[in-house]
Structure 1
């Protein structure tokens, strides 16, 4: 049972190690580049204009490369996030209240306490629009850090981190949609809504065509871009329309698989000795390829295809385009308050909020600790929750029009992410025993017995 539950998490965790390294490399490269003698080339690269569409019409898009990454590529990132959310709600750790209770409480605490701390420290002063910045957790970086600990970390702890970070993403998406969108054009939003309805109906009918979803998805993204609601929200909504059930019966699938394999393994064919296949062998191989594709639900098929692009291209490229702040003592010194407010809200707020609300959920018997997990490890995960990075920088870009405030916010995010990552790593490291992950019992890793 454990393997069936854990397999999607193990895949995500394993891919996070390299993805986290690339994200860190891109961040360091951006900082070095922006503060080197070649800083002007860094600035000019992201300000380069790229146009798409028909000039002198409402359907022309002319954006800087920086905007194409933040509004375009990040929409794909949010599509991936939406698919993760949908999977966990339908068949993962957010499917039942018993499973979801602990990560939900942790995520709510990780929002309420940082928000309260930020408002108390800021008091409605300069930079108050940045209240959403300290509410996010970077799932890729945090899982990558846990991966460095190897078998010291029980799988249940990694699943807990993944689940609460996904709930955190849900909250972040809602905050972006409601509070960080511009003046809304209901005409464009209405067109997008109509197209989403069409995709939703097709999804309910279990009909899925990559080409149709891609073409209509591009139009929906464009309509959101024009509507004033941030374009990345389109990615999440499109994800909700992609069918979650396979459009084939397993009985037929196994029969067809067996027939195709029999063709390929027939002694007379001696497939292993051939460089050139017979016609029936080619057809059997093609059937196997198509059958393998059909048995995977479209939702998971798309998520699987996007995973490497998101981890190894989109997120590192986002970091390269957004983490290159020019560090000047004078400009940083002028904005110490916002640096301090975001930093304390992220590090202290996340640590207290996630651990306190988790403790309340366990002590009131609303939830249980995952198997082989102690509360000190939960505190370590809570500290890691202060590593906001990708989502925090993304929200900061939406919150601050003033370049100085945006630079200060990014500086705070980078510093606090480093502190949270290192501190959380050390807490989990010294509260975990070597080989602990190998002793996970064959039952539900989040503490719910079958």
Structure 2
């Protein structure tokens, strides 16, 4: 074949191809998040630490940089979470009760048991007990990032199971934030927010498919929710619930060509995964180890968070799956072995993004926030390494020992 028909790729072409593959990888966001989290920790313990911390406290208009990140940018993250939940509940892996049963039970166990483990360490301290929900969340980006390092050793069914579990987990986290981490409620602003949601719902029912009015009203909704005392990120989920999901006539599922929800989710996927979540991780993972002794990690608050992530998640997720399968109400994901399910349950203990977020809501004291971060970093690191090693050396179901 001549060169005319088979050109040698240019350097630029190869770079673009590599970048495209990177952006298209489901786990690349998790790998990027690992990198920026490590960078934040390095900077926070370097001569640049003062610039790092002072920049986050600097004000841009009515809010500090950190508040813009945690309240505004993360509202877009929660919008993406809400869109994923709605899509999966309507068309995807959670569209029927049989599909929801196994990941749903695993998610509930993975939220309840870590909270109990945390409270076992902190029940005697009312202030510390307020952080009970910190180890209840799974960071899907981090977990999928670890799975991506294992390649074909992990069956795709387990990745689907983990994604479905994390989506239900996120829904639980949203409900927890709305119910337990609000303060100083303003009834007029809540009423205004409810009115905006009603208008958005009416637009949906009238068949309005343009995203423009939804997004404009979504900004107004964010302002009202922010002023109401409910955490502003809940506005993102409320907006997601009223974005229309339309099906193509004659087709069993919706598609980006006809569904506003699919268009918006597609538009947000890369900005959220490769910009918003890494920015949040960089802004919140930085913790100074100056003056920190090993005894800090042995304090009840740090131990409760780390223990909840490592032990609580493992017991809650694996225990729920084991009980359902043994009772005959569910089956293991296709081609998956018990050791692999055990490894995935360990990976659920990676609780970085949502755990950090809830930790910041639970405590205003920077010293307590630092101890939360120590616990999250230690617990997530242990869970991630342990899960990787278990999955790295586990066998497929065909060669695994069956549970008697």
- TM-score, normalised relative to structure 2: 0.88
Query: What's the counterpart of residue 156 of structure 1?
Result: 157
Return the structure number with greater relative CO, CA threshold 8 A, min gap 6: 1
Cα 1:400–1:331 shift into 2, 3 Å = farther
- CA drift of 1:124 comes to 3.1
Pairing 1:370–2:333 present:
yes
Match of 2:371 in 1: 408
Q: Does 1:33 align with 2:34?
A: no
State the alpha-carbon separation in 2 of the partners of residues 340 and 304 from structure 1: 39
1:361 maps to 2:321: no
Equivalence for 2:3:
none
Describe the SS at the equivalent of 1:243.
coil
| Residue equivalent to 1:206 | 207
Instruction: Identify which of 254, 257, 278 aligns with 1:295.
Output: 257
In the alignment, structure 1 residue 419 sits paired with structure 2 residue 382: yes
8 Å CA contact retained: 1:16, 1:311: no
Give the structure with higher Rg (CA).
1
Match of 2:4 in 1: none
Aligned residues: 375
Residue 29 of structure 2 corresponds to 19
Change (3 A) 1:428 1:334: closer
The equivalent residue for 2:60 is 50
Q: CA deviation at 1:21?
A: 2.0
1:394 and 1:212 mapped to 2: Cα distance? 29
- 1:116-167 C-alpha deviation (Å, 9 max, x unpaired): 1111221231511111101000001101111111111111100000011111
Following superposition, which runs of at least 4 residues in structure 1 exceed 4 angstroms of deviation? 11-14, 248-251
After superposition, give the CA deviation of every residue in 1:260-292 in whole Å (9 maximum; x if it has no partner): xxxxxxxxxxxxxxxxxxxxxxxxxxxxxxxx9
Contact map agreement 2:336 2:396 (CA 8 A) in 1 = no
- State the partner residue of 1:317: 279
Contact 2:256 2:262 in 1 (8 A): no
**Deviation at 1:210?**
2.1
Secondary structure in structure 2 of the residue aligned to 1:181: coil
TM-score (norm 1): 0.80
In structure 2, what is the Cα distance between the partners aligned to 1:350 and 1:426?
Answer: 17
Q: Is the 8 A contact 1:105 1:358 kept in 2?
A: yes
Deviation of the 1:433 alpha carbon:
5.0
**Contact 2:256–2:263, Cα closer than 8 Å, also in 1:** no
Once the two structures are superposed, residues 328-348 of structure 1 have per-residue CA deviations (whole angstroms, 9 ceiling, x without a partner) of 344774572211111111100
- Aligned equivalents of 2:22 and 2:288: distance in 1? 33
After the TM superposition, which of the residue ranges 328-337 and 103-112 deviates more from structure 2?
Answer: 328-337
8 A Cα contact 2:57 2:65, kept in partner: yes
CA distance in 2 between counterparts of 1:433 and 1:160 reads 16
Does the CA-based 8 Å contact 1:98-1:366 persist in structure 2?
no
Contact map agreement 1:76 1:235 (CA 8 A) in 2: yes
How far apart, CA to CA, are the structure 2 residues paired with 1:36 and 1:339? 23
Aligned to 2:143: 142
- 1:38, 1:230 → 2: CA distance? 31
Matches for 1:213-232 after TM superposition, within 5 Å: 213-232=214-233
Conservation of the 8 A alpha-carbon contact between 1:136 and 1:172: yes
Judge which range, 143-152 or 233-242, deviates more.
143-152
Q: How large is the Cα RMSD of the aligned pairs?
A: 2.3
Q: How does 1:179-328 map to 2 (within 5 A)?
A: 179-246=180-247, 249=249, 295-328=257-290
Deviations, residues 100-125 of structure 1 (Å, cap 9, x unaligned): 11001101110111111111221231
Deviation at 1:293, TM superposition (A): 8.9
